[in-house]
Structure 1
């Protein structure tokens, strides 16, 4: 993993669980969400609650969702995530989400399926962090 974001002085850690870290990037004015490890339903649920709480503490219109350090995808809950979770972000003011793919092909399919179930057109997926950041900066 590149030095950014952990060595970025404009980052403030807002929340941390076993499966996710959530940072506010004051320079970019977005939330940086870093998923890691296995993506079990209980961990994912706790991470999602934390993300929504962080959005209340630090409202943002942009979110960088980095899944490069995660081991697996939504594991059969893709449609639910797309139809229920992503719209909650929109309700809280998020207008653009850049998602960085996991390495595993099955996990990529999982994210694509989730995004296909998302009724809001504000989510895009990318192969690398730099491209995701560039897209999000232009939004």
Structure 2
């Protein structure tokens, strides 16, 4: 497994991205409050990971995300989504944040991009992993 860690200027980790070759997915774990800038940095790093070594599955974990990220959704829909599809993403398992604002942000995003690849929402990570395991690589 290869992993990347992203830190804010104050040193706090806001994202870890880890390639799990055994399971055949990349696991993104978002932590704390996100800004458009942190979403862009993390999203582009994921595109780079996929370009370097294609992988059709993303396990996107928002269990520790705080607040909303609506301001990043335009960028995600217009810039990130075409890049990530071109890089080979086909399946997007999203583990919901416990907070309503994070959930509303991802549901808004799903309305914008949900038809471009297969995207499912989960309340616990084990269910998300089970779904990804059931899909072809």
Q: TM-score, normalised by structure 1?
A: 0.83
SS at match of 1:17: strand
The yes-or-no answer on 1:31 pairing with 2:20 is no
Post-superposition shift, 1:112?
A: 0.7
Matched length: 128
Matches within 5 A, 1:84-99: 84-99=79-94
1:77 to 72, 80, 96: 72
The yes-or-no answer on 1:45 pairing with 2:28 is no
Which runs of 5 or more residues in structure 1 are unaligned?
Answer: 1-11
What is the rounded CA distance, in whole Å, between the counterparts of 2:38 and 2:60 in structure 1?
16
1:16 to 5, 11, 25: 5
What is the rounded CA distance, in whole Å, between the counterparts of 1:109 and 1:123 in structure 2?
15
Kindly report structure 1 stretches of 4+ aligned residues shifted beyond 3 Å: none
What is the rounded CA distance, in whole Å, between the counterparts of 1:80 and 1:17 in structure 2?
19
Post-superposition shift, 1:135?
A: 1.0
Give the structure with the higher percent strand.
Answer: 2
What is the rounded CA distance, in whole Å, between the counterparts of 2:17 and 2:133 in structure 1?
18
Which runs of 5 or more residues in structure 2 are unaligned?
Answer: 8-13
SS at match of 1:117: helix
Contact 1:82–1:115 (CA under 8 A) maintained in structure 2: no
